[in-house]
């Protein structure tokens, strides 16, 4: 048996939808339990008070990356069959900025908005509705934005491929980056906490 299961015909599209549904529930549950069902928790990231978002996301990245690396190493997962979103550098930078701005202003990103909606938060519901309206507008205005959307196509590319680096080395570099990031995040949180406690007494 080889993965990806869908590509190797271990199960069909219907089963894959059921699996996607179950994984979605797991994902939403994990987001909510990490505290990401609250816009306050999410935006405190930008005030450097609480870097839980950074830590949770980077933990997820490292865990998934190591899992995929080892599964493909032992020959269970055919990495070349794993779908990659094609890289279009310019539109993805623009999209990233739009998403970032939306994150700061609205207090959610798409996934967390849905998780928070499930807990009954009206702000998240509004955010989610905006998400669908925006998607619809994008689709309707596609002829206008098509030029940007399809600009700078690089195909399905990866960092090891693009920079011609050994795959394993990139994996290790990302792990080091994450560990360094965690240490840095802890330091920033501690520093901000002491500043916040000093400020009221000083004023």
User: Under the rule (CB under 8 A), what is the footprint of other proteins?
Assistant: 7-9, 13, 62-63, 66, 69-70, 72-73, 78-81, 83, 85-86, 142, 155-156, 158, 160-161, 164, 166-169, 171-172, 174-176, 178-179, 182
Nearer to other proteins, 165 or 198 (CB): 165
12's tokens: 């069909």
Nearer to other proteins, 29 or 142 (CB): 142
Find where tokens 């700078």 sit.
Answer: 152
Axis crossing angle, helix 110-118 with helix 122-140, rounded to the nearest 10: 140
* Closest distance of CB 183 from other proteins, Å: 9
What's the CA gap between 65 and 85, in Å, rounded?
A: 16
Phi, psi of 86, rounded to the nearest 5 degrees: -60, 145
Three-class SS state of 3? strand
* Closest distance of CB 40 from other proteins, Å: 23
* Closest distance of CB 25 from other proteins, Å: 16
As a whole number of Å, the end-to-end CA separation of the chain is 66
* Closest distance of CB 198 from other proteins, Å: 27
Nearer to other proteins, 54 or 123 (CB): 54
Determine how many CB atoms are found less than 10 A away from the CB of residue 106. Answer: 19
Nearer to other proteins, 119 or 157 (CB): 157
């Amino acid at each position: 048996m080889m993965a990806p299961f869908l590509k190797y015909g271990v199960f069909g599209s219907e089963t894959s939808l059921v699996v996607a549904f179950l994984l979605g529930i797991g994902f939403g549950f994990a987001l909510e339990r990490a505290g990401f069902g609250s816009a306050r928790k999410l935006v405190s990231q930008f005030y450097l008070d609480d870097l839980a978002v950074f830590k949770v996301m980077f933990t997820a990245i490292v865990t998934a990356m190591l899992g995929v690396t080892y599964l493909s190493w032992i020959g269970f997962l055919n990495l070349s069959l794993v779908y990659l979103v094609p890289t279009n550098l310019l539109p993805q930078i623009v999209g990233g900025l739009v998403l970032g701005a939306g994150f700061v202003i609205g207090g959610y990103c798409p996934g967390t908005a849905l998780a928070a909606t499930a807990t009954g938060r009206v702000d998240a519901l509004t955010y989610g509705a905006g998400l669908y309206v925006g998607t619809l507008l994008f689709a309707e205005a596609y002829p206008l934005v098509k030029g940007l959307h399809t600009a700078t196509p690089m195909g399905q590319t990866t960092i090891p491929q693009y920079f011609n680096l050994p795959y394993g080395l990139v994996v290790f570099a990302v792990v080091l980056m994450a560990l360094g990031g965690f240490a840095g995040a802890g330091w920033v949180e501690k520093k901000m906490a002491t500043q916040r406690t000093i400020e009221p007494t000083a004023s």
